[in-house]
Amino acid sequence: MKIGSIFENQDIEKRIAITPEIVKKYTSLGFEINLIENYGSHLGIKDDHYKDFGVNILKDEKEVLKSSDIIVQLGLLSDDKISIIKENQSLIGILNPYNNKEKLENLAKKKINLFSLELLPRITRAQSMDILSSQANLAGYKAVIESFANFKKAIPMMMTAAGTVPAAKVLVVGAGVAGLQAIATAKRMGAIVFATDVRMASKEQVESLGGKFLTVEGSENLETEGGYAKEASEDFKKKQEELLSETLKKIDIVICTALIPGKKAPLIIKENMFAKMQAGSVIYDLAAIQGGNTAFTEVDKIIEKNGVKIMGESNILNKLPISASNLYAKNVLNFVNNLFDKENKKININLEDEIIEKTLIK
C-alpha cells in the first residue's frame, strides 16, 4: 500500500505530516511513501534526506494524490485537490468537521474514508495518537515565551545591591493541556503563577506544578465525560467574572487557553475588566482563532487597550513547525498503525474499535 502527502497552504500552515524519522516506521509496516518535491524544504529538510529512506519524490501533486491509498495532511485539502481523491482512498488529518460539515458529508457519500483526528476519544489507548494534546502542549509553552518577550520587565525575582525586582505574576485561564504546560513553563522561568478552570479536577494538577488554583465559591464541576470543558451556567459565569476582575488587578501576564470544542471561545476577560489591569500587562490569547477569550482579541494582531497588550495568532505552531511536525507525524503514524491490517496489508475500518468509529466521518 502507498501513503502520500502534499503541501499545505504555507501561508497558514508550515507543519508537515510525514517527517524523515517516521518514514522508516511506515516502510517497516510495508508502506511505500510518495511525497511532493520539496515537501520539507521550508523546514530545512532536503528531498535527498527523504530519498535516503526510500521515499518516492514526485513532481506532480495530482500524481501523489491519485497513487496514494492513504493521504495524510494537516488540514482539509482545497476543493480542486480533494476532487482528485477517489472511492476507497483514505484521507487523515485535522479536517475541522464543525466548520466543514457539509463538505465532509458529501465526500463521505463518495465512499472516501475521512478520518478527523481531533475527534479522537480521550481513552488510554488513543493517547499516542492524540494530536490535540501534543500540539496544545507546544502551544502552551510558546504562548508563555511570546508573552514574556513582549513584557517590559524581568520575569523572576532578582535580589540586587540596588534593590529587589519582584517576580512577574502570571494568570493562566483554562488548565487543559495547553494551560498546564503554560503553568509549568512560566513557573520554570521564575514567575508566580495562578490558574483558573471550570473543571474542579484541574485543581490538583495546577497545584502539582506549583500554581495557585483560583476557585469560584460554590463551583460546579463543568467537565464532559470526554474530559473537555463544557459551557458554564450564568450564575457560575457571574462568580467567575467577579473573581477574575479582582485577580487581574495584580496580574502582569495572562495566558488564555479556554476553548469549547466546536463552539465559539467563551468570552472571559470582558471590556470592563481592562480598566482594572496594570498598564504594561500582556495577554496572550490562544483562543483567538475561535473568537478569543477577551473582548478585544484580534487574530494575528497586537491590540493595546488601557496600556494592556492583547496578542493572538491564527497558528502559533507555525513558530515551532519542526517540533510540532515531529509530534504530529508520530500521532498520525500511531493512528495508521491502529487502522492497518498488517496480516492482509490493507486498511481495516473496524467500527467496533472506538478510535476508528469516533474519527470516521460518516
d(C-alpha 96, C-alpha 333), whole Å: 20
Active site residues: 122, 127, 130, 133, 228
For residues 277 and 251, the answer to whether their CB atoms sit within 8 Å is: yes
Beta strands in 227-299 (DSSP E): 253-256, 282-285
Residue among 225, 235, 222, 182 nearest 205 (CA): 182
Residue among 203, 160, 201, 206 nearest 186 (CA): 206
- Burial of residue 108 (CB within 10 Å: 0-12, 13-18, 19+) is middle
d(C-alpha 115, C-alpha 308), whole Å: 41
**SS3 at position 109:** helix
| Phi, psi for residue 78 in degrees, rounded to 5 | -65, 160
d(C-alpha 18, C-alpha 3), whole Å: 10
How distant, in Å, are the alpha carbons of 32, 33, 179, 277, 346 from that of 53?
Answer: 11, 10, 37, 54, 22
Strands 169-173 and 158-160: unpaired
